[in-house]
Amino acid sequence: MNNARARLGAILVTVLLALSSIMVTNAAHAVQPFTNADVADAGLAELGTSRPTGWNQPGECIKSVQRWVAAAGGYFGGGGIISGYSNSGAQEVALGSAVKGDVIQYTNGTGNDQDWSHAHTMVVITNHGNGRFDVVQSNSPAGSGLVTRADNMVPAPAAGWVSRVWRFGTVHSGLVPNRVALLTPDSRIFAKDDLAGGNWLDQNTAAPAIDVGGRRVALINPAGRVYAKDHLGAGGWLDQGAAAVKVVVGFGGRMYIITPDGWVYGKDDISSVGGWLNQGAQAVDVAVGVDRVAIVTPCGAIYAKSNLDNGGWIQQSDCYTATDVEVSSTGRVAFIRTDGAVFAKDTITGPGGWLDQNAAAAQLKLGANRLLILTPDGHVYAKDHLGAGGWIDQGAAAVQVAISDQGRLVLRNSANQVYAKDTTAPGGWLDQGAAAISIAS
């Protein structure tokens, strides 16, 4: 009888241990709903800056990573060298599986949660494989409080210490998230990736104009200067060294501007001031997909191309044709003719080839292969094919529409309330819990 009880006790202990393991695993996988890569982008936005060091000072490596997680829209609270992560719901992953935004932490191999003697914290930018990483880190060199970048770095903890990797955010596979931004009634910028109501993140600035492409958000500030960033969190805006009356961002992050004197400039990199390339054309409107860009010239003609060099424009229409042009993330081009009719096509080899979409529009937006219009009487229609007609009434009235690179539909109604959805089926709009005077996605 005693042996049976002992065996039963052992079984119960084993079951409890297994359940405990499952519970710990589930808790560890409860990552936060912001984009994980934004942690690295928040760190990169601080490259070259320095802060005070010492216990609990902002220049220390772990305090900086806590700041970058917060800037990305997440939470990294206090605690020990291990418990700070587990208490914040971070997921531990293998070093070889680390991706952009993951945090590498040097930890005492005995699991001593309070041993900080050889601790160091850094954020992965790129996992090159074979144990080599590109990282952003603070307080390197030690005592400097300086934010630096180390490429092709091999983690090298002290003897008896190990490298552990923690993930706070959500890793998006395939396409980039459906990032949406808005201007509040006082012109402050808020943004988010998800479809649930609320969850807007303050971008810590005000602007009269914004645009979104992929993970990149760009703005024109009240002084007419262009700023941009790639992470979803407060601050981190990078001066782009240009003045503009319009800025647009493509699916891959390529940006184009129209300067105050009407010239078109473009660039891919936002990490340094300037670097804009004159595109050899003047325009009143510009739109970009991945690398395909289209413009409406001052005479109302459409030109397009797929290179970033000066010139190379291919004429798509005669003068007095278009008032607005749009390019999708798949390269589809569409425009509103001067009489309000909508036309679209998928190639830019030359003039012609435009297909009448059998609709009149006051506003036109493209995302993936999806077309979204706001009719002159304020109703919203959408469709996924290029042929004439086939428009689906979205069961909503609006004063402004927007669409993400993946085709998420967004509208602002006459009460300045924002709604969104992912399908073209009638209705189904979800209140986004925000008031706005402008939307972009």
DSSP 57-74: -TTSHHHHHHHHHHHTT-
pLDDT at 176: 65
pLDDT at 173: 63
CA gap 10, 29 in Å, rounded: 29
CB 229 within 8 Å of CB 270: yes
Residue from 324, 248, 336 nearest 293 by CA: 248
**Max alpha carbon distance in the chain (Å)?**
97
Place of tokens 């030109």: 303
pLDDT at 27: 31
CA gap 302, 337 in Å, rounded: 11
Place of tokens 């509040």: 184
Q: Which two tokens stand for residue 252?
A: 């891959």
Which residues, in sequence order, are CB contacts of 161 under 8 Å at separation 6+? 106, 107, 108, 109, 118
Q: Where are the beta strands (DSSP E) in 74-147?
A: 91-93, 103-108, 121-129, 132-137
Which residues, in sequence order, are CB contacts of 177 under 8 Å at separation 6+? 35, 193, 194, 215
Length of the chain: 441
CB 347 within 8 Å of CB 385: no
What tens digit of pLDDT does each residue of 267-306 get?
999 988 999 999 999 999 999 998 899 999 999 999 999 9
CB 37 within 8 Å of CB 44: no
pLDDT at 96: 86
Residue from 207, 291, 192 nearest 249 by CA: 291
Place of tokens 């900086």: 64
pLDDT at 97: 83
Residue from 178, 179, 195, 198 nearest 435 by CA: 198
pLDDT at 16: 33
| pLDDT-flagged residues of the chain (< 70) | 1-30, 172-177
pLDDT at 175: 60
